[in-house]
Amino acid sequence: MLKKAGLVLLILLIALPLFSADKEKEVSLFVGLNHMDVLGSDLAIGGGVFIPYSEMLGGEFEFTYVPGSVFGVIDTSLVFVNGNFVGTIKTEDESFVPYFTAGAGLCRASASFLGVGDSATHFAINFGGGIKIPVMEKLFVRGDFRLFYIFFEGEGSHLTERFVGGISYCF
C-alpha cells in the first residue's frame, strides 16, 4: 500500500511541471552527512531539480548516494530517489529564502561482505527544510536538513537524518 501511494505521488510530481513551463527552474548539487540509526554516519552526495508550480510551491526531484561501511569490513550503500513538494516562505528583504519539504520515494540499500552481498529497494518518506542565501543573481548557497523514514519489509522503519550544504543555480 505504501509503495503504491509513493508511486502515485511521484507520478503527480512528474505531471505537475507541465503547468509551469514559463517559470524559472533550479538545479542543485550538495554534499554532507547522512546518519542512519543502524549504520552510523557517512558521506552523502547528490543533486536535484526544483520546478515551481506557483510563487510559493513547487516540486523537487532528488537523487542522493550514501557510500559507507560498517566497522570497515562490510560495504554498504544507500541510494535515494525522491519526489518532494517544496514550500518557500517569503521574507521582507529577500536576503535569504527559508523552505520546507515533504515527499516520498525509493531507497536502494546494499550490503556486501567478502564479495557476497544483497540489496533491496524500499519505500521511504521524508520531511525537512532549509535555507537558501543568494550570492549572485541566479546562484544560491544552501543548507538542508531532512528526516527519512525507510520502510524495510518485515523489519519496520529506520530513521535516517541528512544534513547537507550545497549550491543551487536558477535557469
111 CB contacts (<8 Å, ≥6 apart)? Answer: 70, 74, 75, 76, 117, 118, 119
Under 8 Å between Cβ of 114 and 100: no
Q: pLDDT class for 24, splitting at 50, 70, 90? A: confident
Spell out the domains of the chain, with CATH numbers in brackets: 2-16+26-170 (2.40.160.20)
pTM, full prediction: 0.85
Under 8 Å between Cβ of 82 and 65: no
Residues in the chain: 171
Q: pLDDT class for 17, splitting at 50, 70, 90? A: low
Cell 536558477: give the residue: 170
What distance in Å separates the CA atoms of residue 85 and residue 103, rounded to the nearest whole number? 6
Distances (CA, A) of 12 to 7, 58, 84, 129: 9, 12, 10, 21
Residue 93 pLDDT > 60: yes
Tens digits of residue pLDDT in 34-51: 999 877 889 999 999 998
Chain centroid, CA 103 distance in Å = 8
- Burial of 33-49, coded b for 16+ CB within 10 Å and e otherwise, reads ebebeebeebebbbbbe
DSSP structural state of residue 18: G
Helices (H), 110-169: none
Tens digits of residue pLDDT in 122-162: 999 999 999 999 999 999 999 999 999 999 888 789 999 99
Query: What pLDDT is recorded for position 164?
Result: 98
Of 170, 166, 151, 152, the closest CA to residue 64 belongs to 166
